[in-house]
């Protein structure tokens, strides 16, 4: 044949292999997704770089180094604290005979229903300079505050306390799925439980521990609400400050660019540490792991577990309940602010639905069609992890105000913020679900006469529904709790629950903040609990 037509066939072959059977809508969707996710960041970086000398004078400032140091230190301390809080319970709950451990496992995710900024202000009421502890101490005759939650240490404490479930979950998962043969071999060699843990279990856990730790680190880097309430000066608070005091956004853009760089480095480290295992695969068919009897350690272990849970769930909720005063004021807040609740609900739901759809598409392309397109798409959707809420808000404002002004100032901006920030969670949920589905199933369907789309619809979709649903709920919960980007993106009169909590905290209306917080927690706790039950059932049956 003539070389031209051979070349054409080769090109067609490549195209075919990438998007075979999916056609034009797939191409359009791909382009759209990449544009949507990459454009804000690109625009931000351009703004930062074109800032000129004035902008870079901030970078050269000596206070910049101390800002970087402070931010990294905060994140590091928070991560360490989260590991201390998350690792022992993970081992106790999966490897010992602690009574009630199944319940504790299910409840273990609940701290994630409490956003750190709510945790922050409840701990301020307890441990702040005018908090309960200090007031009680002063009533008893002491002078001056003995404990002050404001500052770096307080920030690390609170952040770690409300993010340790990430570590708990990842490590528990790894422990449940690991092969007991190794530990049994160690036992045969004469090691006791501690020895086994140090020499065998811990090295096996290292990957998931690292993955969870990096997740916490990333979270701490990008947190805004808690650190600003606790008066820690980090990048996010500084960016917010710049946006609120100066009449140009150049400085904020430069700071944002640096923060994104820091976050990107951490993110790449995390990806590398996970390698191909970005989700834990359950190994069916292995024997259950050894359970160590606790004996006289039962009580301390119980205390430890309940203490951790207490500090991160029971105590804050109790404090909130106390702050409200009476159930009437809770109802009153609900009535007065039902449209804030509605705003939160519908924007989160729309964002979750859009994210699930796009996420499924991206996950499918990257899993089933290995190639440059899939890779590009996955990287684009992962950008949300690397961009803290404040930065995302800023970049969306910069982009849409300049190029798409009719979108700017509507609630769509808020939805976009949620979508871009939490798309990675949806992608991950779908990817995990897809990975469990045998690719041969789709081929079997095709050999039996279905087109690619039909095979997807009739075979793949029913099987991944639980995973996609879990992803939807994750995005929903995250969007409900989101504060930093919403603060920047919301149009006038359009407040969400987190924004109300924030405003109330700032204006020291702790009772109002408490009421709204309880409503928010109640709404996010339910899907969270559902997801954990779904997960537990799946793992039990495997």
Partner 1 sequence: MGNIAKKRIGEIAVAGTNIIPLEQTSSPRPMVIRLDRVSKHYGGDTIAAVENISFSVEQGEILVLLGPSGCGKTTTLRLIAGFEAPDGGRIEIAGRTVACDNIFLPPEQRGVGMVFQDYALFPHLTVQENVAFGLRHVSAEQQRSRIAEALDLVGLSTLHRRYPYELSGGQQQRVALARALAPSPQVVLLDEPFSNLDADMRAQIREDVHSILHQAGTTAIFVTHDQEEAFVIADRVGVLNRGCLEQLDHPEAIYHTPATRFIAGFVGSADFVPGLVQGERITTELGTFPNQQGLSVGRAVELMIRPDDIDLVPDEASEATVLTRQFRGADNLYCVRLPSGRKIHSNQGSTKFIEPGTRVSIQANPTHVVCFDIDGLSQ
Partner 2 sequence: MVVIEKLRQNCCTGRTLFLSFLLLSAGVLFDLRTVVSASELVIYSGRKESAIKPIVELFERQTGIKVALKTGKTSGLANEMLQERQRPRADIFIATEAGVLEILAKEGILEPYTSPAAHALPAEHKSARGLWTGISGRARVIIYNKNLVKDGNIPSSIFDLTDAKWKGKIAIAGTRERTTLAWLSALVEIMGEAKAKSYIDRLLENGLKVLPDNSDVWRGVGSGEFAVGLTNSPNYHLALEAKLPVGVVYPDQGPKGIGVLVNPNAVAIVKGAQNLDQARRFVDFLFSKSSQELLVHHAFEIPLLPGIDPGQVRPLSGFKILQISQERLADLEDKTTALFPGL
The answer to whether 399 and 45 have CB atoms below 8 angstroms apart is no
Q: Which of residues 474-533 bind partner 1 (CB under 8 A)?
A: none
Stretch that binds partner 1, among 8-16, 142-150, 203-211, 255-263 (CB under 8 A): 8-16
The count of chain residues that interact with partner 1, using the rule CB under 8 A, is 25
Q: Which of 186, 216, 397, 420 binds partner 2 (CB under 8 A)?
A: 397
Rounded CA-CA distance 93/89 in Å is 6
Residue 137's alpha-carbon distances to 127, 129, 153, 160, 357, in angstroms, are 11, 11, 21, 26, 55
Interface with partner 1, residue 182, by CB under 8 A: no
Residues 6 or more apart whose CB falls under 8 angstroms from that of 185 comprise none
Q: Which is nearer to partner 2, 275 or 405 (CB)?
A: 405
Give me the least distance between CB of 138 and partner 2, in Å please.
7
Interface with partner 1, residue 375, by CB under 8 A: no
Angle made by CA atoms 452, 456, 460, in degrees to the nearest 5: 140
Residues 6 or more apart whose CB falls under 8 angstroms from that of 44 comprise 253, 256, 257, 260, 391, 394, 395, 398, 399
* CA 91 from centroid of its chain's CA atoms: 23
Q: Which of 231, 282, 368, 450 binds partner 1 (CB under 8 A)?
A: 450
Q: Which of 141, 275, 295, 449 binds partner 1 (CB under 8 A)?
A: 449
Stretch that binds partner 2, among 201-209, 307-315, 421-429, 499-507 (CB under 8 A): 499-507
Stretch that binds partner 2, among 41-49, 191-199, 322-330, 501-509 (CB under 8 A): 501-509
Stretch that binds partner 1, among 120-128, 186-194, 455-463, 495-503 (CB under 8 A): 455-463
Interface with partner 2, residue 122, by CB under 8 A: no
**16 interacts with, out of partner 1, partner 2, none, CB within 5 to 8 A per kind:** partner 1
Beta bridge partners of 292: 96
Cα dihedral across residues 65, 66, 69, 75: positive or negative: negative
Task: Enter the tokens of residue 45.
Answer: 């970086």
CA atoms within 13 A on the CB side of 526: 7
**Would you say how long the chain is, in residues?**
542
3-state secondary structure of 292: strand
Rounded CA-CA distance 428/362 in Å is 10
**7 interacts with, out of partner 1, partner 2, none, CB within 5 to 8 A per kind:** none
**450 interacts with, out of partner 2, partner 1, none, CB within 5 to 8 A per kind:** partner 1
**328 interacts with, out of partner 1, partner 2, none, CB within 5 to 8 A per kind:** none
Interface with partner 2, residue 279, by CB under 8 A: no
Interface with partner 2, residue 130, by CB under 8 A: yes
Give me the least distance between CB of 7 and partner 1, in Å please.
12
Give me the least distance between CB of 279 and partner 2, in Å please.
16
Please name the residue ranges forming H helices in 20-131: 23-49, 52-60, 62-95, 101-107, 116-127
Rounded CA-CA distance 159/309 in Å is 15
Interface with partner 1, residue 53, by CB under 8 A: no
Angle made by CA atoms 450, 455, 459, in degrees to the nearest 5: 130
Q: Which is nearer to partner 2, 252 or 380 (CB)?
A: 252
Interface with partner 1, residue 459, by CB under 8 A: yes
Residue 1's CB is within 10 A of a number of other CB atoms, namely 7
Stretch that binds partner 2, among 23-31, 89-97, 349-357, 421-429 (CB under 8 A): 349-357
Rounded CA-CA distance 480/176 in Å is 31
- Per-residue contact flags (x/-) with partner 2 for residues 409 to 448, judged by CB under 8 A: xxxx------------------------------------
Work out the angle between the directed axes of helices 62-95 and 152-177 (0-180°, nearest 10): 40
Interface with partner 2, residue 151, by CB under 8 A: no
Q: Which is nearer to partner 1, 2 or 188 (CB)?
A: 2
- Per-residue contact flags (x/-) with partner 2 for residues 59 to 88, judged by CB under 8 A: ----x-------------------------
Cα dihedral across residues 214, 216, 217, 222: positive or negative: positive
Residue 204's CB is within 10 A of a number of other CB atoms, namely 15
Task: Enter the tokens of residue 208.
Answer: 């998931």
3-state secondary structure of 96: strand
Instruction: Please state whether 409 falls in left (phi above 0), alpha (psi between -120 and 50) or beta.
Output: left
Q: Which is nearer to partner 1, 32 or 441 (CB)?
A: 441
* Contact positions vs partner 1 (CB under 8 A): 1, 5-6, 9, 13, 16-17, 20-21, 438, 440-441, 443-452, 459, 462-463
* Contact positions vs partner 2 (CB under 8 A): 63, 129-130, 135, 138, 145, 228, 231, 241, 243-249, 342, 345-347, 349-350, 352-353, 397, 401, 405, 408-412, 463, 465-466, 469, 472, 487, 490-494, 503, 506-509, 534, 537-538, 541
């Amino acid at each position: 044949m003539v070389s031209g037509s051979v070349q054409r066939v080769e090109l067609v072959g490549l195209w075919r292999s990438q998007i075979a059977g999916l056609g034009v809508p797939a191409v359009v969707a791909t382009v759209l997704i990449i544009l949507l996710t990459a454009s804000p960041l690109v625009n931000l970086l351009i703004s930062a770089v074109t800032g000129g000398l004035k902008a870079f004078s901030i970078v050269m400032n000596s206070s910049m180094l101390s800002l970087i140091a402070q931010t990294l230190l905060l994140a590091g301390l928070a991560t360490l604290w989260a590991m201390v809080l998350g690792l022992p319970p993970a081992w106790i709950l999966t490897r010992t005979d602690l009574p009630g451990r199944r319940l504790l496992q299910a409840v273990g995710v609940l701290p994630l229903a409490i956003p750190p900024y709510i945790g922050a202000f409840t701990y301020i009421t307890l441990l702040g300079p005018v908090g309960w502890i200090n007031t009680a101490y002063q009533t008893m005759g002491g002078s001056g505050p003995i404990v002050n939650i404001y500052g770096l240490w307080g920030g690390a404490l609170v952040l770690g306390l409300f993010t340790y479930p990430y570590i708990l979950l990842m490590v528990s998962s790894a422990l449940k799925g690991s092969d007991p043969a190794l530990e049994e071999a160690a036992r045969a060699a004469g090691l006791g439980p501690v020895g086994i843990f140090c020499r065998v279990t811990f090295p096996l856990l290292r990957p998931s521990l690292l993955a969870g730790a990096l997740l916490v680190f990333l979270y701490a880097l990008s947190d805004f609400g808690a650190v600003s309430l606790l008066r820690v000066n980090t990048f996010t608070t500084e960016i917010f400050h710049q946006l609120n005091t100066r009449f140009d956004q150049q400085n904020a853009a430069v700071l944002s660019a640096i923060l994104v760089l820091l976050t990107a480095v951490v993110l790449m480290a995390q990806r590398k540490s996970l390698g191909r295992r970005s989700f834990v695969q359950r190994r069916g068919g292995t024997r259950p792991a050894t359970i160590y009897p606790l004996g006289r350690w039962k009580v301390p272990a119980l205390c430890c577990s309940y203490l951790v849970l207490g500090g991160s769930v029971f105590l804050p909720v109790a404090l909130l309940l106390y702050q409200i005063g009476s159930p009437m004021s809770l109802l009153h807040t609900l009535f007065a602010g039902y449209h804030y609740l509605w705003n939160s609900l519908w924007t989160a739901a729309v964002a979750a639905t859009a994210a699930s759809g796009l996420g499924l598409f991206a996950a499918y392309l990257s899993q089933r069609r290995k190639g440059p397109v899939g890779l590009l798409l996955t990287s684009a959707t992962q950008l949300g992890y690397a961009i803290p809420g404040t930065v995302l808000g800023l970049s969306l404002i910069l982009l849409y105000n300049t190029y798409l002004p009719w979108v700017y100032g509507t609630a769509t901006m808020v939805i976009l913020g949620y979508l871009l920030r939490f798309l990675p969670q949806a992608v991950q949920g779908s990817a995990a679900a897809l990975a469990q589905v045998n690719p041969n199933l789709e081929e079997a369907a095709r050999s039996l006469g279905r087109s690619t789309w039909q095979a997807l619809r009739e075979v793949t979709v029913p099987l991944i529904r639980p995973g996609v649903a879990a992803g939807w709920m994750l995005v929903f919960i995250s969007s409900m709790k989101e504060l930093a980007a919403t603060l920047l993106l919301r149009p006038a009169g359009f407040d969400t629950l987190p924004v109300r909590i924030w405003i109330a905290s700032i204006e020291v209306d702790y009772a109002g903040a408490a009421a709204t917080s309880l409503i928010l927690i109640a709404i996010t706790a339910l899907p969270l609990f559902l997801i954990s039950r779904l997960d537990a059932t799946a793992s039990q049956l495997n």
